[in-house]
């Protein structure tokens, strides 16, 4: 056992079975009396006397439980359901249909291809003006040229990538064109397993881990003909932008981290090292690095994209989604990866419907208090964005998000579930081998998770159910809610309730760093926020600007 734990904690540690002693009575009644202070209780001596033998039996049960191995892919029997009472999954409407332009030509410099949109690249590949092999090699060369500055890539999957690229070129030449992603290179956050390559989870204890199967999301992209060129940085065990190789950088400002935990996807996509990437979010890990690195990130509805083959941080909060340079690119990738997977019990067959309403027909709200309270450049850019939406015919209504909830306790849901997934890591003491050991580190978060009572975890989830119902009531009146990405509690709330959001670039602050806004939709209505984001991006050029250090023709318009 790690001797750095405070003495007061030893009582609880013995009760939950982390002591190395074999006897089930290695703790005393005084330990119980002291230990209960950690959970805000004060049983009298008679109650403690009565509990003593019962707690001994509990500890024996914990010791027994740990003798049974369980695979990473095993979900708890209690599967989270984000649906409010009476909710019905939408029926098939107008399917999203990506369009490939026919008038795209090769640029004067091939390096410009690094920032072409997916439809532009698809047009060149489909017309055979550009080969998948040449495009793949271009991106791999950029990784080798630039990533020493960014630290965004953990593993280049070059052998697999070149094999997939050659196959794509053969198929296209034979008339077997699979669709808009055929021949397009991308990267995945290194929480996702790819057979034959390390899956490090960004953490030193798993640096050499190889999982002998491939994540469903990677398989689905492979079926579409996309080309995996890199496994990108996850902050250690999906926290922050620090991993065992260092700190991933923001390509707009190399003195700043890329934010996390999808730090690699954010940084690499912004710097033109991949055409798009796949990230994960539990509590901000797509939206935060998308904002920091100036790209567009879609966090879909909970359960939309299979997590089979992907590290779990929180079974009831983890989501997988695309990180790209535009809303249109996000929609294209989302179409390829969403849908039911028998290997992930949270997924279903809800359709991905395109939003067919005109902008002036959408019912839109905005979180006025949070937007008005932000006096920074970010707030100014958001207020300018509201004017752009209004020019498109949107008439937003001011609303507020729910306030009467125990928000200070909700993060125990994530921490308790993470502690369960990484139980063996904590018990073995291997958390000591992780790079970060601060109060806010993942290592420390996992250790303290063992002190979260099961009763409190369940009570927090009961309050979460109330929150789900209240947010659902908002979407009876609105299709989309406009929000700051970070100010206020929308990020926390929507991750708890499972609602989809998209982070959209809105410009730059005075230091030339990107800013963003967030659009929120009802469950399974990704089509509405994607359509609204695309309409905004057609009126602005923030999604077309790229970091100067990694692009010859980038431009910044700072406030």
Q: Is 259 left (phi over 0), alpha (psi -120 to 50) or beta?
A: left
Indicate the residue among 68, 94, 120 that finishes a domain.
68
* pLDDT for position 554: 52
Comparing CA positions, the residue from 119, 90, 115 lying closest to residue 104 is: 119
Residue 355 is classified by DSSP as P
Residue 183 lies in a domain: yes
Q: Is residue 539 part of a domain?
A: yes
The answer to whether residue 386 scores a pLDDT higher than 50 is yes
Is the pLDDT at 118 greater than 70, yes or no? yes
99 with 116: CB under 8 angstroms? no
Which DSSP symbol is given to 156? E
C-alpha atoms less than 13 angstroms from C-alpha of 158 in its C-beta half-sphere: 12
Residue 107 has pLDDT above 60, yes or no: yes
Say if residue 15 is in the same domain as residue 134: no
Average pLDDT over residues 280-299: 98
For residue 510, give the DSSP letter.
Answer: T
Which backbone phi and psi does 130 adopt, to 5 degrees? -145, 135
The answer to which of 152-161, 254-263, 544-553 has the lowest mean pLDDT is 544-553
Q: What is the pLDDT of residue 2?
A: 42
User: Could you tell me if 161 and 257 lie in one domain?
Assistant: yes
Q: Same structural domain for residues 249 and 354?
A: yes
- Dihedral over alpha carbons 227, 126, 335, 135 (to 10 degrees): 30
Are the beta carbons of 236 and 189 closer than 8 angstroms? no
445 assigned to some structural domain: no
pLDDT of 6 above 60: no
Please tell me the total count of domains within the chain: 2
Q: Is residue 415 part of a domain?
A: no
- Work out the mean pLDDT of the chain and round it to a whole number: 93
Count CB neighbours of 373 within 10 A: 12
pLDDT for the residue numbered 4: 38
Percent of all residues in the chain with a pLDDT value above 70, rounded to a whole number: 94
For residue 436, tell me if it sits in a domain: no
Q: What is the pLDDT of residues 428-440, one digit of tens each?
A: 999 998 988 998 8
Q: Same structural domain for residues 51 and 149?
A: no
Residue 433, domain member (yes or no): no
Task: Give the model confidence (pLDDT) of 178-224 as tens digits.
Answer: 999 999 999 999 999 999 999 999 999 999 999 999 999 999 999 99
Q: What's the mean pLDDT in 438-446?
A: 89
Say if CB 153 and CB 187 are below 8 A apart: yes
Residue 7: pLDDT over 90: no
Domain identity same for 477 and 387:
yes
Q: What is the CATH number of the domain that holds 231?
A: 3.90.1300.10
pLDDT at residue 25 in the model: 64
Pick from 544, 515, 432, 518: which is nearest to 259 by CA?
A: 515
10 pLDDT band, cuts 50/70/90, is very low
Q: Could you tell me if 286 and 384 lie in one domain? A: yes
- DSSP code per residue over 389-437: HHHTT---EEE-----S-TTTTHHHHHHHHHHHTHHHHHHTGGGGSS--
| Type and span of the H or E element at 299 | strand 296-299
Domain that holds residue 22: 1-68
Residue 84 inside a domain? The answer is no
Looking at the structure, do residues 255 and 365 belong to the same domain, yes or no? yes
- Give the end of a domain, one of 10, 45, 68: 68
**Domain end call among 18, 51, 68:** 68
Q: Same structural domain for residues 150 and 48?
A: no
Q: What does the pLDDT look like over 307-323, one tens digit per residue?
A: 999 999 999 999 999 99
The reply to whether 282 and 341 lie within a common domain is yes
157 shares its domain with 227 = yes
Q: What is the mean pLDDT of residues 322-334?
A: 98
- Which string of b and e fits 142-158 if b means at least 16 CB within 10 Å? bbeebbeebbbbbebbe
- Tens-digit pLDDT profile for residues 494-532: 999 999 999 999 999 999 999 999 999 999 999 999 999
Residues facing residue 353 across a β-bridge: 95
Same domain, 4 and 137: no
In a domain, 205, yes or no: yes
User: What is the CB neighbour count within 10 angstroms for residue 92?
Assistant: 10
CA angle, residues 161, 189, 209, in degrees to nearest 5: 85
Q: What is the pLDDT of residue 553?
A: 55
Residue count (the chain): 559
Share of the chain above pLDDT 90, in %: 85
* Residue 113, pLDDT score: 98
Structural element, H or E, at residue 335: helix 327-337
């Amino acid at each position: 056992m790690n001797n750095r734990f405070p003495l007061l904690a030893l009582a609880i540690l013995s009760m939950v079975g982390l002591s190395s002693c074999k006897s089930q009575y290695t703790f005393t009644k005084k330990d119980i009396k002291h230990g209960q202070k950690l959970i805000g209780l004060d049983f009298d001596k008679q109650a403690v006397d009565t509990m003593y033998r019962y707690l001994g039996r509990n500890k024996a049960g914990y010791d027994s439980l740990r003798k049974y191995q369980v695979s990473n892919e095993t979900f708890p029997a209690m599967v989270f359901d984000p649906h409010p009472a009476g909710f019905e999954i939408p029926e098939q409407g107008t399917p999203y249909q990506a369009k490939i332009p026919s008038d795209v030509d090769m640029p004067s410099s091939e390096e410009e291809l690094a920032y072409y949109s997916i439809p532009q690249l698809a047009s060149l590949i489909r017309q055979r003006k550009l080969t998948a092999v040449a495009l793949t090699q271009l991106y791999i060369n950029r990784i080798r040229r630039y990533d020493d500055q960014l630290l965004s890539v953990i593993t280049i999957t070059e052998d697999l990538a070149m094999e997939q690229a050659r196959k794509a070129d053969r198929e296209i030449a034979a008339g077997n064109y699979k669709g808009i992603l055929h021949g397009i290179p991308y990267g995945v956050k290194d929480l996702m397993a790819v057979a034959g390559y390390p899956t490090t989870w960004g953490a030193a204890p798993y640096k050499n881990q190889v999982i002998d199967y491939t994540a469903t999301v990677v398989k689905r992209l492979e079926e579409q003909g996309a080309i995996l060129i890199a496994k990108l940085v996850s902050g250690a065990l999906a926290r922050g932008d620090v991993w065992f190789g260092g700190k991933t950088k923001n390509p707009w400002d190399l003195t700043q981290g890329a934010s996390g935990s999808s730090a690699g996807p954010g940084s690499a996509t912004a710097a033109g090292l991949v055409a798009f990437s796949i990230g994960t979010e539990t509590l901000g890990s797509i939206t935060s690095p998308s904002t920091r690195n100036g790209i567009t990130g879609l966090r879909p509805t909970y359960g939309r994209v299979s997590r089979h083959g992907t590290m779990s941080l929180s079974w009831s909060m983890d989501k997988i989604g695309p990180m790209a340079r535009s809303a249109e690119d996000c929609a294209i990738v989302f179409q390829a990866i969403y849908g039911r997977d028998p290997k992930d019990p949270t997924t279903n067959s809800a359709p991905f419907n395109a939003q067919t309403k005109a902008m002036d027909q959408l019912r839109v709200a905005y979180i006025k208090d949070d937007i008005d309270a932000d006096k920074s450049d970010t707030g100014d850019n958001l207020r300018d964005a509201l004017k752009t939406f209004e020019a498109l015919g949107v008439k937003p209504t001011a609303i507020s998000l729910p306030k009467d909830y125990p928000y200070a306790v909700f993060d125990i849901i994530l921490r308790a579930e993470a502690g369960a997934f990484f139980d063996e890591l904590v018990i073995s003491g291997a958390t000591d081998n992780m790079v970060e050991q601060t109060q806010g580190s993942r290592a420390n978060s996992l250790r303290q998770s063992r002190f979260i009572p099961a009763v409190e975890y369940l009570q927090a989830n009961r309050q979460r159910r109330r929150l789900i119902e209240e947010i659902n009531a908002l979407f009876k009146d609105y299709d989309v809610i406009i929000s700051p990405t970070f100010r206020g509690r929308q990020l926390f709330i929507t991750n708890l309730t499972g609602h989809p959001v998209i982070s959209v670039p809105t410009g730059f602050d005075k230091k030339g760093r990107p800013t963003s806004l967030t659009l929120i939709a009802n469950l399974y209505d990704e089509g509405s926020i994607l359509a609204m984001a695309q309409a905004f991006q057609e009126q602005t050029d923030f999604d077309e600007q790229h970091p100067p250090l990694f692009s010859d023709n980038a431009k910044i318009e700072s406030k």
